[in-house]
Amino acid sequence: MIKQHITNHLNKIVAGYLRTKGIMDSLKFSVKVPPKNIDADFAVNAAMLIAKKIKTNPRIAAQELIDIIVKDIPDIIEKAEISGTGFINLRIKDEVLYKELCAIVNEKNKYGSFTENNKEKIMVEFVSANPTGPLHIGHGRGAAIGDSLARILKHLGYNVTKEYYLNDVGNQMLVLAKSVEIRCRQLKGEKIDFPVDHYQGDYIIDIAKRLILEGRDINHIDFKYEAVKDILKTIEDDLKDFDVEFDNWFSEANIAAVKDKDGKTEVDKTSMYLLAKEDAYIKDDALWLATTKFGDDKDRVLKRSDGRYTYLASDVAYHKNKFERGFTKLVNLWGADHHGYVARIKACIKMFGFSKEALNVILYQLVSLVRGRQPVAMSTRTGEFVTLREVIDEVGKDACRFFFLLRDPDSQLEFDLELAKKQSSENPVFYVQYVNARCNSIVKESTNRSDIITDIKNINFDLLNTKEERDLIKQLAAFCDTLAMSEKTMSPHYFTTYLMELADMYHKFYEKCRVLTDDSNLTSARLKLIEGVMIIVKNGLSLLGVSTPDKM
């Protein structure tokens, strides 16, 4: 929160300064953590930008700003200096850091949350894998990113709903049903070839085996229902073991198959609505959606000339439905292979009268799987893929989630199974979790003592005056900046980096500053710092869906 606090002050100061120069516009400058070689807490680039605007020397503008800063906020700023190129380097008062540490200890898991975001309803839709097979490792990446993003947005005070869109109608369902049926008949001894374009995976045979075992009459089985039931159970179990829980499972059948009293589905009604407002039209006996009006490269078919709707028709109705449920912001996580789909859905959003910013599509690049040097193919059809289940079982849920969240969603992720297996002791996730374990040992050890001051009002924080302690507190406070960054970019991966940096600083502190000493006051102050570290590590890891064991 420190950075935001300072930025707010500086915004006022800069605006006031510009007004004295006759400029009324606001200026977008940055407040950043300077590189390691610079001895300052924050670096401000405002003077360089001002110099350009009013045609002056950046150093002159910087000095004039510094004079105002030192005069206006003396309780925050210890020192303000100009750097060679025109940066204003700020050192903040230690008391500001101590106050922030107190805030962390007092607010605990609420630290960094914003109550003012409460009203906004956000939907995060992710995974949404077709119920035609188990989740594979690519779905795992989407699950990890989507779930963590939802946790972050929730922490920031948004009203978040996590939803899984279930494509349980359409051609693929017929193929699925047929696949199970043929396996059943084969098990019964019928000589039928299994079509190459049907679902080849062993899980289909498992479903067939169950049906046979239950003694069902092959000619009277709802194969689709049975297949989806089993597969969905698998998907739910996989997600549960991955610590991903959805608030809602939205079935496509709701909008594509369920009819009202007039015999119309939501898809029917949405199509008619679009036709009426001339965002859809009829050509060659088909119903077309005029997405080019809103930036797509070609119009798309909603209803085929044979009268069947396309997948898009359901999706359009689905997104309309999301808005009708009161969501003002939609976040969709899609595999990057669906990127061609973004323009048409954005076009739909505009047809419904919302700005295209109301929908935020996060595309995550594919996970390429290797085993040692050999690439492993992934295909739902052939069944030759590595499932999420396999990876969780091999490397554990925590390592698996952390690994998926280590990268920018826009980067392709290479997942080496050999490496993942070996990583049991060198994985970065353990490096972070170890912080909590170490803290916990110290806290446990300290309970033997009677001279520890626990009341925060009586702690002498001034004793936390080494570089290691100062850096550590600053990093704890940067938790808020990481939240802000994740929100701005809609990506949780900043937290993995943040936590590794925090762990690094903690381990350095641990080496340099002994906590349990003969000095009661120092010991008590350092124990409070440790309390803060534990809170932040736990908060941070829980945003990633990773546990914080007390012992490892």
Which position among 56, 440, 521, 542 is part of the footprint of RNA (CB under 7 A)?
Answer: 440
Considering only residues 101 to 160 of the shown chain, the ones binding RNA according to CB under 7 A are 130
Site for RNA in 286-305 (CB under 7 A): 286, 297, 300-301, 304-305
List Cα–Cα distances, 4 to 88, 114, 115, 287, 480, in angstroms: 17, 13, 16, 51, 9
DSSP for 394-462 reads HH-HHHHHHHHTSS-TTS-EEEEHHHHHHTTTT-HHHHHHHHHHHHHHHHHHHTT-S-----GGG--GG
Least gap, CB of 195 to RNA (angstroms): 15
Rg (CA), the chain: 29
Q: Which of 9-17, 176-184, 213-221, 306-314 is the region at the interface with RNA (rule: CB under 7 A)?
A: 306-314
Using CB under 7 A, which of 6, 61, 73, 86 touches RNA?
86
Q: Does 396 bind RNA (CB under 7 A)?
A: no
Range 230-259, binding RNA (CB under 7 A): none
Which residue, chain included where needed, has tokens 């809170």? 535
452 is an interface residue for RNA by CB under 7 A:
no
Least distance in angstroms from the C-beta of 116 to RNA: 21
CB 331 within 8 Å of CB 124: yes
* Binding test (CB under 7 A) with RNA, winner from 26, 465, 466, 517: 517
Considering only residues 176 to 215 of the shown chain, the ones binding RNA according to CB under 7 A are none
Closest to RNA by CB, 86 vs 545, is 86
Among 161, 310, 380, 387, binds RNA (CB under 7 A): 310
Single out the segment in contact with RNA by CB under 7 A; choices: 26-34, 137-145, 184-192, 217-225. 26-34
Question: Which pair of tokens denotes residue 186?
Answer: 């084969």
Q: For residues 463-502, which are near RNA according to CB under 7 A?
A: 481, 485, 488-489, 491, 493-494, 497, 500
Per CB under 7 A, 26 contacts RNA? no
CB of 323 to RNA, least distance (A): 21
Which residue, 237 or 337, is less far from RNA as judged by CB?
A: 337
Q: Which of 4, 8, 30, 248 binds RNA (CB under 7 A)?
A: 30
Cβ 527 to RNA shortest distance, Å:
9
Query: Smallest distance, Å, CB 411 to RNA?
Result: 3
The residue from 22, 24, 25, 37 that contacts RNA (CB under 7 A) is 37
Among 157, 170, 383, 396, binds RNA (CB under 7 A): 170
Strand 413-416's sheet: what is its strand order?
A: 374-376, 367-371, 413-416
Pick from 505, 346, 95, 395: nearest CA to 103: 95
Q: Which residues pair with 249 in a beta bridge?
A: 164
In the complex, minimum distance from the CB of residue 357 to RNA, in angstroms, rounded to a whole number: 15
Q: Is 376 in the site for RNA (CB under 7 A)?
A: no
Is 133 in a helix, a strand, or coil?
A: coil
Our CB check for RNA shows the closer of 133 and 211 to be: 133
3-state secondary structure of 17: helix
The nearest distance, CB 524 to RNA, in angstroms, is 12
What's the CA gap between 349 and 98, in Å, rounded? 47
Report 342-371 residues binding RNA (CB under 7 A): 363, 365-366
**Least distance in angstroms from the C-beta of 189 to RNA:** 32
What residue type is assigned to position 550 of the chain? D
When asked if residue 437 is in the footprint of RNA (CB under 7 A), the reply is yes
Which is nearest to 491 in space by CA: 44, 141, 60, 146?
146
Task: Count CA atoms within 13 Å of residue 53 on its CB side.
Answer: 20
Alpha-carbon torsion (147, 152, 155, 159), positive or negative: negative
In angstroms, the CA 222 to CA 210 distance is 14
**∠ CA 161-164-169 to the nearest 5 degrees?**
140
121-125/329-335 β-pairing = parallel
Of 495-514, which residues contact RNA (CB under 7 A)? 497, 500, 503-504, 507-508, 510-511, 513-514
Separation between Cα atoms, residue 126 and residue 363, nearest integer Å: 11
| Closer by beta carbon to RNA, 184 or else 546 | 546
# chain residues binding RNA, by CB under 7 A: 92
Comparison of 211 and 351: residue with beta carbon closer to RNA: 351
Q: Give the H/E segment covering residue 96.
A: helix 94-107
**Residue 211 or 288: which CB sits closer to RNA?**
288
Cα separation, 182 vs 495, in Å, equals: 48
Question: Which range in 15-23, 191-199, 389-397, 402-410 contacts RNA by CB under 7 A?
Answer: 402-410
Any bridge partners for residue 282, and if so which? 287
Among residues 259, 325, 339, 421, which is the contact residue for RNA, using CB under 7 A? Answer: 339
The pair phi, psi for residue 43, each rounded to 5°, is -120, 135
Instruction: Give min distance, CB of 132 to RNA, in A.
Output: 8
